Structure 1
Amino acid sequence: MTAPDPSTHPRAFLEHLYQAAVRRALPLHTLGPCLPAPPRGRTLVLGGGKAGGAMAQALEALWPREAPLSGLMVTRYHHVPPRPEGLPRRIELVEAAHPVPDAAGLAAAQRMLALAQGLGPDDLVLCLISGGGSALLTLPAEGLSLEDKQRINRQLLASGANIHEMNCVRKHLSRIKGGRLAAACAPARVVTLAISDVPGDDVSVIASGPTVPDATTCAEALDILRRYGIEVPPLLLRQLEQGGLETPKPGSLLFHGHEVRLVATPQQSLEAAAQAARAAGIEAHILSDEIEGESREVGKVHAALARAVAARGQPFRKPCVILSGGETTVTVRKPPEGAPDARPGRGEDSDAHPGRGGRAGEFCLGLAQALQGQPRVWALAADTDGIDGIEDNAGAFVAPDTLQRALARGMKPGAYLDRNDAYGWFSALGDLVVTGPTYTNVNDFRALLVL
């Protein structure tokens, strides 16, 4: 696909790079080389994530028609891709809630454990996992209700904890995560096919590692809960203190003969975007696929880099594209007492709803504030699953005149950052990036264009 001219259509050019990154991570393009040979016994497919629907369809298309195939996958509501005409349905697909789990996800996880019973050594379990699986595959530990799990999940999401910390807690409060699904599948062989959405591609963190060993401990989970002030029922607290909710560890015979294969990674998608930029005559530089930290602060750092390139040609010569990925965090701040609840377009307190900005939006808001209208710098940040946070956008776009247009409407970026409302800020400016679900997920995508 020919790239738009970056000098005349910078937004379209950055959207082109985003789409190149997403295409590189689509399961139909990447799953085939990772598939094992069919076993002597039967093949059972289990797993979940935001890419669950696309992974299941890709497997149905690629698996030999004569080889038995059945199973159950769970994906996020409205993340089931259009089904190709004539493709036989061999894997059941159900939808559930994300990022806060619901009863549909609970029922799916219970059914998966039941399906794993009675497998033999000649059978094969293909576990297809992708980002979002932690919420979609929910099966609370004994003594923990779904309501408890939902409350803990909401508090974790708002706490500013990073993905490693959140999933450490999730694994120890679950009956299916942290290697427990693999334990249920014994003595069958398990091959885990994963689309990575985590910094470092640690498969034990992707979807909280339902089929792989877990090196974290109850003590670590307890420390995280206490550090962020998250309460758990007293019974669960005692079990964590006594190590009664420990997960299967590396070296356990449970995982003998099991394999893990990465189907798509953030780095591969960033490289695809860089290749698309270079094909258009623009040099591209990948900072890292593992950038973490508060979204707004990461935005400020990217702004400082872009300003240095624009002003001094350091550390990169312009024109260029600066790419990065990873998983930043948003610590949700409570609005001040008595904050007005105005509607859009009415000055700096308009659209005053806290917590409506996801990671990409808050990154862009921090970036726009720090760029201070820097000429000839544009940026796009979006989640590769097409959904940033809880709203309908993938992310947002920043142009040299973004801050000026906002201030002309009385929309001060600091006020919107104070209530985590990047969505409201960029919505009022017409600068949201809306793609709909992409049916994959390799985490944050950020691109800055300096001309």
Structure 2
Amino acid sequence: MSVEPKVLLRSLFDAAVSAADPARVLAQYLPPPPKGRTIVIGAGKGAASMALAVEAAWPGELSGVVVTRYGHHLPTRTIEVLEASHPVPDAAGLAGSKRLLDTVRGLTEDDLVICLISGGASALLPLPLEGLDLTDEQTLNKALLKCGATISEMNCVRRHLSGIKGGRLAVACHPAKLVTLLISDVPGDEPVDIGSGPTIGDPTTCQDALEIIARYGIEMNDKVRDVLTSGRGESVKPGDPRLKNSEVKTIATPQMALEAAAEVGRKHGLAVHILSDDIEGEARDVGKVLAALARQVARHNQPFKAPCLILSGGETTVTVRGKGRGGRNVEFLLSLGIALAGHKGIHALAGDTDGVDGLEDIAGAHLGPDTLSRAWKLGIKPPDALANNDGHSFFEALGDSVITGPTLTNVNDFRAILITADAAEA
């Protein structure tokens, strides 16, 4: 391996993001034109780039509207792009949800709806059920983000309080032909969990949502409790006849991104091992586990022989304890670094493929054998930074943040650990 570790790791991340670029992958999944109208709707951090890819490949007329995160707009021609807040929903997202429903109103069996969903759609499409308001969604959303719930658990709750998620958008499109194109950002690639499944039949129930809220000790007001206990929040179920003319295609996944990065690693002569595309759990705990794995490779050539590259994806969680500038990728890296304690020859990168880790417009960061020592010299205490969930401040002070700007796609988190031949000699 002749390339510098930091450069190599960044090239792996860039390859992973590029593999999920809608401009490269979307066109092959488009259906044939219908007899009637073609309407494009959608939401997510990749919604604008997906809409642009549809416009570039579509042979006939089309129109529509999609909702994306602030700063993710692209100059589409016939598909309108609206912007709203993520990860906490806002009034612009509420207006966008209503626009999507208005756009598909009154369609016929001769019409086609192409729905573009990518990660972030849950927050970008708030639409409280009758009896609730936007404040209720915002309050519950903030609690879910802080409590350590998995993305599947969070989206289960969201589906049962929404007037657009959990298959309700698909019902609004009926009887038109509906083709949903998904970019997965969730472990397991379950369509119902991608953007909370606005066009997908939902097998979970209000009772499941209540159990999740109780499990994490989340407070809910009387209005939310009434919606869930009365069953008024029940979602559209698989097998509903209104979903009969609906088709779902996943066009990009975390595994595809990992495979693209693995190919780059192999071209540099490295043995590459993909652990999993759906690792979950507390970010700091995953950091400790992968640090133990890296040390085992370095010391004993088990279960892999150094030099090698270890890749993984998925979506970890952070139970917020402090008041720092955190995100799950920098939390993972900081925990990994503390556990490795400056072990020679072990380098890592972790980043969110949408370019936003937590609430920061920073994708993630690099970690090297000298990271902790450089921090201590600056008077920064790594354990204190981790305790305060302050990973972004930590890596930013060292100049090790990974900043991409909006990538306009989202296939979840990307983690790469490079174990060089030097590590085995430490």
Q: TM-score, normalised by structure 2?
A: 0.97
Aligned 8 A contact 1:140 1:149 in 2:
yes
| Aligned ranges 1:293-304 → 2 under 5 Å | 293-304=281-292
User: Counterpart amino acid of 2:39?
Assistant: L
- The Cα of 1:435 is off from its aligned counterpart by 1.1
2:399 and 2:101 mapped to 1: Cα distance? 46
1:68 Cα offset (Å): 2.0
Quick one: distance in 1 between partners of 2:408 and 2:157? 27
> Which aligned pairs between 1:186-201 and structure 2 lie closer than 5 A?
186-201=174-189
**1:332 pairs with 2:327:** no
Q: Deviations over 1:123-147 (max 9, x none)?
A: 1111100000000011111111111
In structure 2, distance between residues paired with 1:209 and 1:392: 26
Write the letter of the residue equivalent to 1:450. I
Q: Secondary structure of the equivalent of 1:317?
A: coil
Distance 2:411 2:361 in 1: 18
Deviations 1:180-237 (A, max 9, x none): 0001111111110000000010010000000010011000111111222223331331
Consecutive unaligned residues of structure 1, counting only runs of 5 or more, are 1-5, 336-353
What amino acid is aligned across from residue 146 of structure 2 in structure 1?
Answer: A
> Is it true that 1:425 corresponds to 2:394 in the alignment?
yes
Q: Which amino acid aligns with 1:399?
A: G
| Matched-pair contact (CA < 8 Å) for 2:136–2:224 | no
Task: Give the conservation status (yes or no) of the 8 Å contact 2:65–2:80.
Answer: yes
Deviation string for 1:64-97 (max 9, x for gaps)? 1xx220100000011124x4xxxx7010001110
Q: Structure 1: how far apart are the matches of 2:341 and 2:121?
A: 39
Amino acid at match of 1:305: L
Aligned to 1:411: 380
Distance 2:199 2:221 in 1: 27
Give the partner amino acid of 2:369: P
The answer as to 2:307 corresponding to 1:319 is: yes
Counterpart amino acid of residue 69 in structure 2: R
| Preserved contact between residue 144 and residue 233 of structure 1 (Cα < 8 Å) | no
Is 1:332–1:355's contact at 8 Å kept on the other side of the alignment?
Answer: no
Q: Provide the C-alpha distance between the structure 2 equivalents of 1:24 and 1:290, rounded to a whole number of angstroms.
A: 17
Q: 1:450 and 1:184 mapped to 2: Cα distance?
A: 52
User: Mean Cα displacement is larger for which, 228-237 or 391-400?
Assistant: 228-237
Q: Does the alignment pair 1:402 with 2:371?
A: yes
SS in structure 2 of the partner of residue 414 of structure 1: helix
3-state SS of the aligned residue for 2:212?
A: helix
**Which residue in 2 is equivalent to 1:48?**
43
Which residue of 2 is the match for residue 383 of structure 1? 352
Q: Which residue of 2 aligns with 1:343?
A: none
Contact 1:100 1:135 in 2 (8 A): yes
Query: Which one is further off, 304-313 or 407-416?
Result: 407-416
Amino acid in the other structure paired with 2:163:
R
Partner of residue 137, structure 2: 149
Measure the CA separation in 2 of the matches of 1:289 and 1:319: 22
Output the CA distance in 2 between the equivalents of 1:71 and 1:386.
26
SS state of the match for residue 290, structure 1?
A: strand
* Percent identity between the two aligned chains: 58
Task: List alignment gaps of at least 5 residues for structure 2.
Answer: 421-426
CA positional deviation for 1:409: 2.7
Q: 1:35 offset after TM fit, Å?
A: 0.5
| 1:357 corresponds to | 326
Q: 2:27 aligned to 32, 42, 48, which one?
A: 32
Q: What is the match of residue 117 of structure 1? A: 105
Deviation at 1:7, TM superposition (A): 4.8
3-state SS of paired residue (1:311)? helix
Question: Could you tell me whether the CA contact under 8 Å between 2:258 and 2:274 is conserved in 1?
Answer: yes
The offset of 1:8, in angstroms, is: 4.8
Instruction: Return the TM-score normalized by structure 1.
Output: 0.91
Q: State the Cα distance separating 1:407 from its structure 2 match.
A: 2.1
1:11 counterpart residue number: 6
Cα distance per residue 1:294-344 (max 9 Å; x no partner): 0011011111111111111111111111000000000001x4xxxxxxxxx
- 2:273 alignment counterpart: 285
Match of 2:217 in 1: 229
The range that moved more, 423-432 or 15-24, is 423-432
Which of 134, 140, 143 is residue 128 of structure 2 equivalent to? 140
List structure 1 runs of 4+ shifted beyond 3 angstroms.
none
Higher mean Cα deviation, 88-97 or 358-367?
88-97
CA contact (8 A) 2:146 2:320 kept: yes
Quote the offset at 1:164 in angstroms.
0.4
Paired positions, count? 420
Once the two structures are superposed, what CA deviation does each residue of 1:25-64 show, in whole Å capped at 9, x if it has no partner? Answer: 0001000111000111111111100001100100000101
Residue number in structure 2 paired with 1:131: 119
Q: In the alignment, which residue of structure 2 is the partner of 1:349?
A: none
2-structure distance, mates of 1:173, 1:414: 39
